[in-house]
Amino acid sequence: MSDAIIIDGKAIADGYLSKIKEEVSRLPTRPCLAMVLVGDNPASLLYVRYKKKYAEDLGITSFLYMLPTETKEEELIHLVEDLNNNPQVDGILVQLPLPDHISEFKIISTIRPDKDVDGFTKENIGLLALKQDCLVPCTPLGCIKLLKSVKDDISGLNAVVIGRSNIVGRPLAQLLLNENCTVTLSHSHTQNLPDLCLSADILAVAVGKPGLVKGNWIKPGAIVLDVGISYLPDKSIKGDVDFEEAIKVAQAITPVPKGVGPMTKAMLMHNTVKAYKRRRNFIEDKK
């Protein structure tokens, strides 16, 4: 079998971004994204700076609130409430993880669902489960778009998702189910994971353990989405799938970096424009 198609997440994301930029240029006012970072986690700081730059490149106004680690939960709740009530703000993003003394659930639950551009509130997650229009979590949404760049109709395929986090695994499983895949959601207690993976036409891995999935776990011809990002001591970035082995077996695979990551940021911009348009009763673009 010849080597797998390497799904160019960066190029696909750039395509979405240029369409979004064009769309933003036609809006009567600029959409506005407010981001909140608590603490000084270097990875989180890098992520929010990237997101701010992406937004500004597209003509989306963005504010970044940087709060110290010692910020009290009530203070953060007040800031989110202010952003909820600020008519200028279309999207609110609170960068995770939060310091241990702050409840992520409480903070996310404070965000107005129609400004929840991460799609993490119980309202948006519930709507997703009910297959209703909503703000969909960015990484899973990006995964589906990457998948569809290879195969438009995934109906009836066996999909195995490894990892059941609220931000990636669970919503991705839900989206795959909504696309009529037969979905198995696996996690650290799953037995015989290699055998389970071998049944997957679509294998999505969101664990955070570099090289967890070996080539001989992959069904020949499968499409593999590698969501994992691990920073190794030599400063290289590695995914959850053994890429060199996987490309010999899979039909297509997302690389790390330049696979799912760029699509996550593009989908955040997509959601910000979507939130802007929905709040102003624009006619919805379903794409």
Cβ pair 220, 4 in contact under 8 A: no
Q: Is 171 in the site for ligand NAP (CB under 6 A)?
A: no
Which CB sits closer to ligand NAP, 64 or 237?
Answer: 237
Residues numbered 106-145 forming contacts with ligand NAP, rule: CB under 6 A: 139
Q: Is 48 in the site for ligand NAP (CB under 6 A)?
A: no
Is 88 noted as a catalytic residue in this protein? no
Q: Is 236 in the site for ligand NAP (CB under 6 A)?
A: no
Q: Is 147 in the site for ligand NAP (CB under 6 A)?
A: no
Distances (CA, A) of 179 to 59, 170, 175, 264: 32, 14, 6, 19
Among 31, 91, 171, 261, binds ligand NAP (CB under 6 A): 261
Which CB sits closer to ligand NAP, 207 or 241?
Answer: 207
- DSSP label of 103: -
Which listed range, 33-41, 159-167, 245-253, 278-286, lies at the site for ligand NAP (CB under 6 A)?
159-167
Cβ pair 184, 156 in contact under 8 A: no
Is 191 noted as a catalytic residue in this protein? no
For residue 38, give both structure tokens: 């608590």
Which listed range, 14-22, 121-129, 165-173, 213-221, lies at the site for ligand NAP (CB under 6 A)?
165-173
Q: How far is the CB of 162 from ligand NAP (least distance, A)?
A: 5
Indicate the length of the chain as a whole number.
287
Whole-number Å distance between alpha carbons of 147 and 154? 8
- Other CB atoms within a 10 A radius of the CB of residue 13 amount to 25
**Torsion sign across C-alpha atoms 52, 53, 55, 56:** positive
β pairing state of 158-162 and 202-205: parallel
Q: Is 162 in the site for ligand NAP (CB under 6 A)?
A: yes
What is the SS3 assignment for 223?
strand
Q: How far is the CB of 130 from ligand NAP (least distance, A)?
A: 23
Among 44, 61, 178, 230, binds ligand NAP (CB under 6 A): 230
Which residue type, as a one-letter code, is found at position 69? Answer: T
**Torsion sign across C-alpha atoms 229, 257, 250, 175:** positive
Q: Is 188 in the site for ligand NAP (CB under 6 A)?
A: yes
How many residues sit close enough to ligand NAP to count as binding (CB under 6 A)? Answer: 25
Task: Give residues in contact with ligand NAP (CB under 6 A).
Answer: 139, 162-165, 167-169, 186-190, 193, 206-209, 227-230, 260-261, 264
Instruction: Give the residue numbers annotated as catalytic, written as ranges.
Output: 51, 95, 118
